[in-house]
Amino acid sequence: MGQTPSWSQACQCELRFTLITPFTDLLCPLDSQPLGVSDGSWRCPSGHSFDVSRRGYVNLLAVQNKRSRDPGDSREMVAARARFLKAGHYRPLAAAVARNVLGSTPLVDPLTCIDAGCGEGYYLRELATAAGASRPLTLGGVDISKWAVQEAARQDRRAAWMVASNARLPVAGKSVDRLLCLFGFPVFAEFARVLKPTGELLLAEAGPSHLQELREVIYPTLKQKSTAVHSTHAGFYLRAEETVRFQVLLQGNAVIADLLAMTPHMHRAPPEGRAAALALTELQVTVDVRLQQLVINSPR
Ligand SMILES: C[S@@+](CC[C@H](N)C(=O)[O-])C[C@H]1O[C@@H](n2cnc3c(N)ncnc32)[C@H](O)[C@@H]1O
Ligand SMILES: [Zn+2]
């Protein structure tokens, strides 16, 4: 066990070259006591111990927060999303996320950012790139899917990657400057707990015309998506909002199949709609995303 590589060990070497450090302010998923790392394991004062796997992540998902044997996105969904994002189709969105995270902070301040429902880690990697060499960042990614976290750790060891649920983040209270929840499952009370009083939650949700052209192919009739802006979320108030909208030209069958596989439409679509989408060889789609910057409601 002493030989197990931990992300902290990996990062101590990388630290010399980058200013990205893994998030370490962790809590035991069983009793919420602080976790400390030694010999490749995280331990709480009561002796609960969690090994950092050889693949560079730690499983902090308590059984009571595990609703199925293999929760979250499947291996296939994760692989499809990884291929799609790697091809750069959502790069303008990643740039907008990074701009929102880094935007208002002075250059020298170290910034702690957790991605809650990080998937295969694309947005944290892009954030690290956008921050460049001069912006210190402390990064952590949480996802309930072990496949997603495994893939994130495979691609980048600079962040702390954890299998855990947004319902109970293994993260100390008031320890996070920026919390991301991108196309994810927000748990606002838990998000409010982990954010510093000055922290911000960045929420990304599909806008009304998101992937409309794909939806037109797979559903016989399209439900009019609500254009209502949800600007109230328990315990938070809206500080800023922007719409990120752009077109993507998808060429080839495989990339269209990947887009379908990474969305909930794969399971919701009627078989004939799915077949119609999978038969396409070219598709221009609209990406329409609402980004909301939310802050903790504090009485003033
Ligand atoms: C639509 S994907 C988005 C992934 C990533 N944010 C992105 O945009 O590429 C939703 C992610 O939330 C994860 N997820 C589902 N329920 C969760 C929960 N309760 N806590 C944390 N992650 C969860 C899934 O495994 C999946 O990776
Ligand atoms: Zn414990």
Q: What CATH number belongs to 7-222+230-296?
A: 3.40.50.150
Which two structure tokens, joined as six digits, stand for 183? 């196309």
57/229 Cα distance (integer angstroms)? 36
| Contact 175 CB / ligand 1 (< 6 Å) | no
Using CB atoms within 10 Å of the CB of residue 149, give its burial: 0 to 12 exposed, 13 to 18 middle, 19+ buried. Answer: buried
pLDDT at res. 235: 86
What is the whole-number distance in angstroms between the Cα of residue 235 and the centre of ligand 2? 28
Helix (H, G, I), strand (E, B) or coil at 84: helix
The bound ligand whose nearest atom lies closest to the alpha carbon of 68 is: 1
Q: Which two tokens stand for residue 189?
A: 């009370």
**Nearest Cα residue to 236 out of 165, 171, 298, 169:** 298
pLDDT in tens, the chain (300 residues): 333 345 544 444 443 445 899 999 999 999 999 999 998 899 999 999 999 999 999 999 987 777 788 899 999 999 999 999 999 999 999 999 999 999 866 666 689 999 999 999 999 999 999 998 778 999 999 999 999 999 999 999 999 999 999 999 999 999 999 999 999 999 999 999 999 999 999 999 999 999 999 999 999 887 766 555 455 688 899 999 999 999 999 999 999 999 999 998 888 889 999 999 999 999 999 999 999 999 997 645
Domain boundaries, the chain: 7-222+230-296
The Cα–Cα gap between 44 and 34 comes to 6
Residue 2 neighbours by CB distance under 10 Å = 7
The alpha carbon of 291 is separated from its chain's Cα centroid by a whole number of angstroms, namely 14
Give the closest ligand to the alpha carbon of residue 28. 2
Pocket test for ligand 1, best of 91, 143, 150, 259 (most atoms within 8 A of CB): 143
CB contact set of 88 (below 8 Å; sequence gap of 6+): none
In the reported structure, the alpha carbon of residue 119 is separated from the centroid of ligand 1 by a whole-number distance in angstroms of 5
Pick from 185, 203, 262, 289 the residue to mutate for probing ligand 1's pocket: most ligand atoms within 8 Å of its CB: 185
Question: Which tokens sit at 240?
Answer: 């800023």
Check: pTM over 0.75? Answer yes or no.
Answer: yes
Residue 63 CB coordination number (10 Å) = 7
CA dist 169 to 53, 74, 107, 179, Å? 19, 21, 28, 11
pLDDT at 85: 98
Q: Is the CB of 117 under 6 A from ligand 1?
A: yes
Buried b (16+ CB within 10 A) or exposed e, 219-231: eeeeeeeeeeeee
Does residue 93 contact residue 287 with C-beta atoms inside 8 Å?
yes
